[in-house]
Amino acid sequence: MRLPYFYQQVLGFLSVILVLLLITGLSLLRFSRTSALNDTEETLFAYGEALVEGNLKLEQLNYAQDLLDNQGIDLAIFDNEGERVYPLESTQPAPYLSEESKEQLRRGQRLSLTIQEQDLHGNERETALVYLPFFSQETSAYAGYVAVSAPVSWIDEEMQDLQSNLLYAFLFSSLGALVISLVFASYQVNRVNQLRKAAHQVTSGNFDIRLDHKERDEVDDLIEDFNTMVAALKDYNQEVARQEERRKDFMADAAHEMRTPLTTINGLLEGLEYDVIPEEQKHRSIKLMQKETRRLIRLVNENLDYENIRSNRIVLNKQEFQVKEVVESVTEQLRESAEESHNRLQVDVEEDVMVYADYDRFTQILVNLVRNAVQFTENGLIQVHAHVEEGNTVVTVSDNGIGMTEEQKTNMWERYYKADLSRTNKKYGESGLGMAIVQQLVRLHGASIHVDSKPNEGTSFTLTFPHQPLDTEE
């Protein structure tokens, strides 16, 4: 059965309050009856003690009985054998006392008990009885006991009146408890409904909503967690939107990059097919087609590499080898591109500088860094330096090109990101994936990369490779 949360709260609060009221009322009734009975017994004990102190003289007993008759109190004197000695004319049987009770009286202990008996009209009534032992003045021997009794049915009558008053109080308190329960339940349910409405707004795409909380209870903790979740969802959606925008830019750039070489290749092939290219130009045309083909291959390989790295499908085959050999191979590969931009490549690496890395991936890192430097430098100097420092191999690729702003430095590692200035320079097929690939490959090596750059002054990339593999390597 479905029970709304509001009614659950009302029933919960109301149940607690009503149970508390019921327990309090019953305890009060029991306490009042016990207190009244104890007071009656103490009064009867006081009468009995007064008689014992008066030496139980007959005149005094008769006088006391006359006074106590008005209160419904009866007196009786019993000898040490338990036989009634006063009043002798009484027809009422003596209350039964067990041998254990008689022994207690002989030891000087007082007794009290409550019995049910019938009055002269045959009505059941409750009577309180107390027994006090007395001793001979000459021998101090046990001489008997005094019995004082009084009806206590009036206690039940008073308890009934008290019970009626408590019932009215319980009814009014129940109404008050119901009102209080409604107020507290409404407060709690309103907080939950506030959370629910906010959740609906989030599902509708509103990630700017925030709920106030005062850290008072678990609901406030839930609200705080909700706010944290919404903030995380907002950041995630912004990141998704940004990545989607970059993906679109990348697809547009990739289409442009692929269309240009494909158009060139297709035009040259048609020229060769229809023999419209002079014989002396055919060799140059073939070289140009090879160059454009390499651009296409590089563009495809970069995308494949990035996806493989993201999917952890890259397995490094680390070994120790000379840095200078790789650097000279890379600079020779990119020298023609550098000369087209009137740049000069300079290598400063000693023969004994070794690095512990995957040969092919280390080469790929340097190719991306040097190509990046060539692309963003005109009429400048590009330097590659390597040395050993504190047991690590440090490789630096620096240029004096256009440099980067702080924002560009922050975003350059993200996939599909390209600085706005770089969009005017597409000679080398910049895809926006080169730096992202570099960062991921450096991470896989357990190495680090640091960038220093200032606009219009140049950029410097510093790679630090440990000589031994780290425990975090895969």
Rg (CA), the chain: 53
Indicate the pTM of the whole model. 0.46
Q: Which one-letter amino acid corresponds to residue 388?
A: V
Same domain, 304 and 328: no
CA dist 410 and 418 (Å) reads 12
Residue 398 tokens read as 């620096």
Supply the CATH number for residue 430's domain.
3.30.565.10
Is the pLDDT assigned to residue 387 strictly greater than 60? yes
Same domain, 273 and 348: no
- Residue 212 carries which DSSP code? -
Same domain, 266 and 355: no
Same domain, 422 and 327: yes
Residues 329-356 have pLDDT tens digits of 999 989 988 998 899 999 999 988 999 9
**Secondary structure of residue 349 in the 3-state scheme:** strand
Span of 201-205, 298-302, 360-364 with lowest mean pLDDT: 298-302
Picking from 254, 284, 310, the residue at the C-terminal end of a domain is: 310
Is the pLDDT assigned to residue 118 strictly greater than 60? no
Q: How confident is the model at residue 320 (pLDDT cuts 50, 70, 90)?
A: very high
Same domain, 45 and 152: yes
Sign of CA dihedral 279, 285, 286, 287: positive
CA dist 222 and 424 (Å) reads 51
Same domain, 270 and 349: no
Same domain, 155 and 90: yes
Q: Which one-letter amino acid corresponds to residue 295?
A: R
Residue 45 lies in a domain: yes
Task: For residue 162, give every residue at least 6 positions away whose Cβ sits within 8 Å of its Cβ, in sequence order, or none.
Answer: 28, 29, 32
Is the pLDDT assigned to residue 422 strictly greater than 60? no
Cα separations (Å) of 78 from 71, 86, 105? Answer: 22, 7, 12
Same domain, 119 and 29: yes
Same domain, 13 and 136: yes
Supply the CATH number for residue 237's domain.
1.10.287.130
Residue 198 lies in a domain: no
Q: Identify whether the C-beta of residue 452 lies closer than 8 Å to the C-beta of residue 462.
A: yes
Picking from 159, 182, 204, the residue at the C-terminal end of a domain is: 159
Same domain, 230 and 372: no
Residue 474 lies in a domain: no
Residue 318 tokens read as 């680390």
Picking from 143, 159, 175, the residue at the C-terminal end of a domain is: 159
Is the pLDDT assigned to residue 357 strictly greater than 90? yes
| Residue 437 CB coordination number (10 Å) | 23
Q: How confident is the model at residue 450 (pLDDT cuts 50, 70, 90)?
A: very high
Structural domain range at position 436 = 314-466
**According to the model, what pLDDT value does residue 61 have?**
75
- Provide the domain count of the chain: 3
| Residue 79 CB coordination number (10 Å) | 13
Residue 173 lies in a domain: no
Residue 413 lies in a domain: yes
Q: Identify whether the C-beta of residue 351 lies closer than 8 Å to the C-beta of residue 288.
A: no
Residue 48 lies in a domain: yes
Q: Hey, what long-range contacts does 142-145 have (CB within 8 A, 24 or more apart)?
A: 142/80, 142/105, 142/106, 143/79, 143/80, 144/77, 144/78, 144/79, 144/80, 144/85, 145/77, 145/78, 145/105
Residue 199 lies in a domain: no
Same domain, 295 and 321: no
Same domain, 12 and 113: yes
CA dist 456 and 289 (Å) reads 35
**Secondary structure of residue 321 in the 3-state scheme:** strand
Supply the CATH number for residue 33's domain.
3.30.450.20
CA dist 353 and 395 (Å) reads 10
